[in-house]
């Protein structure tokens, strides 16, 4: 019910898009090249749930952001080859586990956000 859009940025690479499930407070792992492609698969019945690359998988560091609420961003990992978010699907706001808060979690949108200058 409370889904939002999100994006990941690879180091030296593209920005890809994903759906954020605000009810479960987690990212849907499938990454799409355009917002239009993401919207065409919005709440799809068969989303990718894990990296499909097997033992040759390379999970790269990414910056993750979502537009849920006033926006948030944090770090994770993704497989560029199969376009799947692999780590950081559930952002730690610090209150899920007070002993291991995610120090990378920030409110707002990063400077690279595709939505930053939109009305």
Give the global pTM.
0.84
Contacts of 118 (CB under 8 A, 6+ apart): none
CA dihedral 57, 58, 63, 64 (to 10 degrees): 0
Contacts of 50 (CB under 8 A, 6+ apart): 29, 84, 86
pLDDT of 91 reads 80
Q: Residue 118 domain-assigned?
A: no
- How many domains is the chain built from? 1
CA-based nearest residue to 41, from 49, 51, 50, 31: 31
Q: Residue 19 domain-assigned?
A: yes
Q: Residue 12 domain-assigned?
A: yes
pLDDT in tens, 72-104: 899 999 999 999 999 988 886 544 444 455 567
The domain of 10 spans 3-107
pLDDT in tens, 19-49: 998 888 889 999 999 989 988 888 876 666 7
Contact 72, 65 (CB under 8 A): yes
């Amino acid at each position: 019910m409370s889904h939002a859009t999100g994006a990941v940025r690879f180091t030296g690479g593209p920005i890809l898009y994903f759906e954020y499930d605000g009810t479960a407070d987690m990212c849907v792992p499938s990454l799409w090249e355009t917002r239009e492609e993401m919207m065409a698969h919005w709440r799809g019945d068969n989303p990718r749930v894990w990296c499909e690359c097997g033992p040759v998988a390379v999970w790269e560091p990414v910056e993750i952001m979502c537009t849920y609420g006033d926006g948030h961003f944090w770090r994770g990992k993704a497989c560029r080859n199969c376009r799947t978010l692999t780590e950081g699907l559930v952002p730690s706001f610090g209150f899920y586990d007070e002993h291991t808060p995610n120090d990378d979690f920030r409110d707002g949108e990063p400077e690279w956000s595709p939505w930053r200058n939109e009305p």
